[in-house]
Structure 1
């Protein structure tokens, strides 16, 4: 496979790439406490000052972006990085003009809450993973995946132990998420706030599953994070392993309309593009009321 093109470097622990439809990709910069736009030529433009630890992003129906903000935590070597501006874990909306507001719902379970990733469903419901207190891995609390309605209220949730992380809808209409501490990918039948029982889809051979996405052919791409690899599944079977190299730490991915798989390398501080000739899966959007709107 041809080596990926480095679209942009110097990013401050990038995560949560989102294809913007104009050739650009939005990325959250966890250690920059911000969300940024990366143009096709690599130009990086700030979109919003989030504070805390922006961890994932999703495009809204009117061009706004939604951010899962874990409150200000990231791994750093053998310890943890804490943001200069700590806040309660939350979902934020970043409007095209740069205004950042907070979606109001309280997450189930004990604090601290560590919202990690998010995506919209076909009906406009916003689904968010809360990884719980992953700074306490030996005694980590069960996390949750939470369904948020257009009015900002919680429609329902499902408890997921062992650090629920990346989340995306599959072409079969199910909600897929990674369970980082078991190396598994799970799938749920969902309808608004109702969750079915999870089904194990696959288990990564190594690494720790982080973000994931689908292409239009139904192939599943799972970032292996500390395993420095992207694992490609077809029909639940491992079809390909894309090695990314030591010190990259692929954190999350998205498919572009240009046939490329865009991947954030957390440790390397890069957004890279693999020219795979893929077709992106159908995208879903929605809009959610925030505290400023209430």
Structure 2
């Protein structure tokens, strides 16, 4: 495997990349409290000042972005970083003019809410993971996956223990979910906010599953986060593991229309691209009504 191409550096704990139609990549900067756009030439422009701890992004149907904001928490060495503008976590909409609004209201379950990742389903429903109080790993509460409709209402949710994290729709129409503390990936049949029973589809051999994505051939890429690895699955069987290098911490990934696998390295503050000649995939979009924050 050739070394990745470095697209951008100096990002403040990047997460949640989303490939955009113009060839740029949206990334959230958790410690920058913002969502930013990385142009193909590496130029970084802030698209929205979110506050808190932006943790994941999803592209909307009209070019807007949706952000899972954990409220202002990040791991830092042996402790935790807290944002200057900390609040209970929520889901945000960032319009192309930079306006930031909240969507989905107060998430279900006890505070603190720690939204982590999000994606649209085929019907335009927005699914967001809430990882719960992961600053309390020894006694972490169950998290949830919450479905949000186009009008901003919550359509339903499912409780998931052991830190629900990355989320993506697969080519089989199921919702795939990283369960970080068990090192498993689960799959759910979903419809209109209703969730079926979870099926364990794999367990990563190293690292802790974080963000994940599919390419157009159905190959699944799972970021192994603290293990500094990306696991590649064909037919849900492990094909290879891409070592990203000590201290990189790959947090999330997406496939671009240019055939590259884009990966955020949290600890080194980089967006990198593995130019693998992949088949792009169809990414579902939608629009969710926002309320002034």
Report the TM-score range of the alignment, normalised by the length of the smaller protein.
over 0.9
Residue 231 of structure 1 corresponds to 231
Q: 1:49-68: per-residue Cα shift (whole Å, max 9, x none)? A: 00000000000010000000
Q: 1:10-41: per-residue Cα shift (whole Å, max 9, x none)? A: 00000000000111000000000000000000
Structure 1 position 14 matched with structure 2 position 14: yes
Given that 2:174 and 2:187 are in contact with CA atoms closer than 8 Å, whether structure 1 keeps it comes out as yes
Paired residue secondary structure (2:182): coil
Residue 113 of structure 1 corresponds to 113
Residue 203 of structure 2 corresponds to 203
Structure 1 position 268 matched with structure 2 position 268: yes
Q: Aligned partners of 1:139, 1:34: CA distance in 2, in Å?
A: 30
Residue 144 of structure 1 corresponds to 144
Q: Aligned partners of 2:292, 2:10: CA distance in 1, in Å?
A: 33
Q: Indicate the RMSD between aligned Cα atoms, in angstroms.
A: 0.8
Given that 2:104 and 2:154 are in contact with CA atoms closer than 8 Å, whether structure 1 keeps it comes out as no
Q: When the two structures are aligned, how many residues end up with a matched partner?
A: 293
Q: Aligned partners of 1:292, 1:226: CA distance in 2, in Å?
A: 36
Residue 154 of structure 2 corresponds to 154
Q: Aligned partners of 1:37, 1:106: CA distance in 2, in Å?
A: 27
Q: Aligned partners of 1:280, 1:118: CA distance in 2, in Å?
A: 19
Q: Aligned partners of 2:32, 2:105: CA distance in 1, in Å?
A: 25
Given that 2:213 and 2:253 are in contact with CA atoms closer than 8 Å, whether structure 1 keeps it comes out as yes
Q: Which runs of 4+ in 1 moved over 6 A?
A: none
Q: Aligned partners of 1:267, 1:156: CA distance in 2, in Å?
A: 35
- Give the Å deviation of 1:91: 0.3
Residue 71 of structure 1 corresponds to 71
Q: 1:67-119: per-residue Cα shift (whole Å, max 9, x none)? A: 00000000001110000000110000000000111114221211100000000
Q: Aligned partners of 1:158, 1:106: CA distance in 2, in Å?
A: 15
C-alpha spacing 1:104/1:171, structure 2 compared with 1 (3 Å): closer
Given that 2:52 and 2:72 are in contact with CA atoms closer than 8 Å, whether structure 1 keeps it comes out as yes
Q: Aligned partners of 2:104, 2:193: CA distance in 1, in Å?
A: 16
Unmatched tracts of structure 2, length 5 or more: none
- Give the Å deviation of 1:197: 0.3
Unmatched tracts of structure 1, length 5 or more: none
Given that 1:171 and 1:282 are in contact with CA atoms closer than 8 Å, whether structure 2 keeps it comes out as no
Paired residue secondary structure (1:136): helix
Given that 1:223 and 1:250 are in contact with CA atoms closer than 8 Å, whether structure 2 keeps it comes out as yes
- Give the Å deviation of 1:192: 1.1
Paired residue secondary structure (1:135): helix
Q: TM-score, with normalisation over the residues of structure 2? A: 0.99
Q: TM-score, with normalisation over the residues of structure 1? A: 0.99
